[in-house]
Chains A and B, each alone.
Chain A
């Protein structure tokens, strides 16, 4: 069945540094979604990528979908303490499977 791998598992950065998390699917996806989960909270939808090679930006966040629609990345420029949380990708076909998540901590 479909598997979604996500790396790194943890990332600790100094405030102002950049951050990137990567996802790779074992199968071609119809779309990929990104979620953020704060400690103690539930995942909150960030964005959906559908097209091959698609790039979307939300302020300091840049999301990319690979040409083969099997990999994706989330890049945060100049991290802030408010970016703390776990970022999950979710590969979508008939069902939706999550990557392991990348826990981001930011040192002020």
Chain B
């Protein structure tokens, strides 16, 4: 199956700093990437959808200035949590999908556990 690599797998940062999370598709071209947030024992909440070369589409209630998403190439998307606060602590996970060819389903990265202290 397709491989999506997400880095880092965990990060601890101080309140007020910014954190960048990378999501890479290793063996296919990901025209679309999805970013999710998951609180403990809850489902994955879609934050934004990004298509390569265009601005991300954010879900209602997600601050685009706080969660910066860049999808500059067909194999890399980044999520930057700016001026992080303790309430931003969560599990962030990306998924990538090819278009028209393979794969048609979305494959997930391993996730990033962010702790803001």
- A: which residues have CB within 8 A of B? 6, 31, 33, 35, 42-45, 48, 88, 90, 94-101, 103
Contact = CB atoms under 8 A, between A and B. Distances in A.
Contact of A98 (B41, B46, B49): B46
Contacts of B46: 95-98
Given A42-B93, A42-B111, A95-B49, A48 B105 contact: yes
Contacts of B42: 100-101
Nearest to B44: A98
A98 B95 contact: no
Interface of B: 1, 34, 36, 41-46, 49, 57, 93, 95, 97, 104-111
Nearest to A48: B105
A42 B110 contact: yes
A92 to B, nearest CB: 8
Contacts of B44: 43, 88, 98
Contact of B106 (A33, A99, A100, A103): A33
B29 to A, nearest CB: 18
22 contacts: A33-B105, A42-B108, A42-B109, A43-B93, A43-B108, A44-B108, A45-B105, A45-B106, A88-B44, A94-B49, A95-B49, A96-B34, A96-B46, A96-B95, A96-B106, A97-B46, A98-B36, A98-B44, A98-B45, A100-B42, A101-B43, A103-B41
B34 A95 contact: yes
Contacts of B106: 33, 45, 90, 96
